[in-house]
Amino acid sequence: MRDGIISGELLPGDPLVEAQLSADLGISKTPVREALIRLARDGLVVQELHRRSRVATPTVEDVRQACEMRRWVEAEIAAHAARNNSPELIAQLEASVADSERALKGNDPRRWATAVETFSDALMDHSGNRYAAETLQRMRNVLSLIANVSQVAPGRRARSIAEHRAILDAIRGGDARAASKATRAHLDSIEADSLQALEQVRTPAA
């Protein structure tokens, strides 16, 4: 279920019906109920009366503040990566971009989500700053929700790939300023698409 939320197969506000999920997954209702409770604790699911659940929807402030924080942190991480110019990191980023392109062509949203997440994870792992990594890790759930809602905007997946490629090109070229600028442009794009998508998403009434 978490993979379905992160990949955008399950959209903000979508109902999560225990009986239907149980049938789809071929398991009893008990583990489905336990999974929904855990996802609710993680902030990815909202639970309502009468055991009704739905995919959580980030607020406008969630989007704005999270993207602002990411710009502060990730722009410098990308600049650091360009200055360091690690062949290992560049190879990981190239593999991520290539895999995300294959997933997009194959219309495989789960593989796409994994590939683009790998791009950010690789940069974070090579940042050399555990506090920055821990900050982003703590925000993973809200960032997942923002990634989820952004995919409502047409062309978001293709834009993410193109923006990742621009970041990769700057890092490969050792241009710290360009890497920082490309990262900020990427996060500006995510923020704009997410805010646009939030206007289209209707959260069911409680």
The confidence score (pLDDT) of residue 206 equals 41
Same fold, 2-55 and 60-200: no
DSSP 88-143: HHHHHHHHHHHHHHHHHHTT-HHHHHHHHHHHHHHHHHTSS-HHHHHHHHHTHHHH
The confidence score (pLDDT) of residue 102 equals 97
Report domain extents, the chain. 2-55, 60-200
DSSP 4-70: HHHHTSS-TT-EE-HHHHHHHHTS-HHHHHHHHHHHHHTTSEEE-GGG-EEE----HHHHHHHHHHH
Query: pLDDT by residue (tens digit) across 34-80?
Result: 888 888 887 788 888 777 888 888 889 989 999 999 999 999 999 99
Of 169 and 20, the structure prediction assigns the larger pLDDT to 169
The C-alpha angle with vertex 167 and arms to 187 and 80, in degrees rounded to 5, equals: 95
Nearest to 40 by CA among 30, 52, 29: 52
The percentage of residues in the chain with a pLDDT greater than 70, rounded to a whole number, is 97
What letter represents residue 48's amino acid?
A: E
CATH architecture of 60-200: Up-down Bundle (1.20)
Task: List CB contacts of 158: < 8 A, sequence separation 6 or more.
Answer: 104
Per CATH, which fold does 2-55 belong to? Arc Repressor Mutant, subunit A (1.10.10)
Give the whole-angstrom CA distance, residue 155 versus residue 72.
26
Tokens of 70: 């990411």
Of 17 and 175, the structure prediction assigns the larger pLDDT to 175
Query: pLDDT by residue (tens digit) across 148-189?
Result: 888 888 999 999 999 999 999 999 999 999 999 999 999 999
